[in-house]
Amino acid sequence: MNIVLREWRNDDKEPLAKFANNKKIADNMRDIFPNPYTIGDAVHWIATSGNSIPQTVFAIEADALLAGGCGIHLKEDVYKCSAEIGYWVAEPFWGKGIATEAVKQLLEKAIPILTNVVRLYAEVFEHNKASMRVLEKNGFHLESIRKKAVIKNNLIMDDYVWVKLLNK
């Protein structure tokens, strides 16, 4: 399968709304990720996703089909040497190694241009073992488990913090 990271395009709005409007996706995302996910949400996301300089937010394409999204979010103030990564893959593409390859490509694109970043991290809800495996395959290690640190769908749960330190 050919995996490519690219900028979001206006013609992504229908497949984005279709794939992101999935409770199984939303259950693994922060509450800022809308559920239900509408065409309007997709239009807003696409319009604002290209605002980062350098480009750090990407659509994931698998064999020329939209398959998800990923990005690196730079931190500020005393955390300016850290960046958080995030990603999701549409359910029809689960179990095909797409997230693992997308994170690999995201790191390859971002690390050379993130000159001040020495620490990449991802936060994963306790039930999302597949996402933890994606991070492990990309050289992240489990730094901590924050006990009862998040609430999602009225359920209090642990938050796993995965970290990759960059050699800079």
Whether the pLDDT of residue 128 is over 80: the answer is yes
pLDDT digits (tens, 9 = 90+) for 74-96: 999 999 999 999 999 999 999 99
Whether the pLDDT of residue 51 is over 90: the answer is no
Whole-angstrom Cα distance, residue 160 to residue 78?
22
Roughly what angle, to the nearest 10 degrees, separates helices 39-49 and 13-20? 120
pLDDT of residue 114: 87
pLDDT of residue 121: 98
Whole-angstrom Cα distance, residue 18 to residue 140?
31
Give the confidence band of 6 by pLDDT, cuts at 50, 70, 90.
very high
Task: Quote the pTM value.
Answer: 0.94
Whether the pLDDT of residue 168 is over 70: the answer is no
Q: Domain segments of the chain: what residues?
A: 3-118
Q: What percent of the chain has pLDDT over 90?
A: 89
- In three-state form (DSSP H/G/I as H, E/B as E, the rest C), the secondary structure along 39-95 is HHHHHHHHHHHCCCCCCCEEEEEECCEEEEEEEEEECCHHHCCEEEEEEEECHHHCC
pLDDT of residue 66: 98
Please provide the average confidence, as pLDDT, over all residues in the chain.
95
Query: Among the CATH numbers 3.30.470.30, 3.20.20.110, 3.30.750.80, 3.40.630.30, which is that of 3-118?
Result: 3.40.630.30
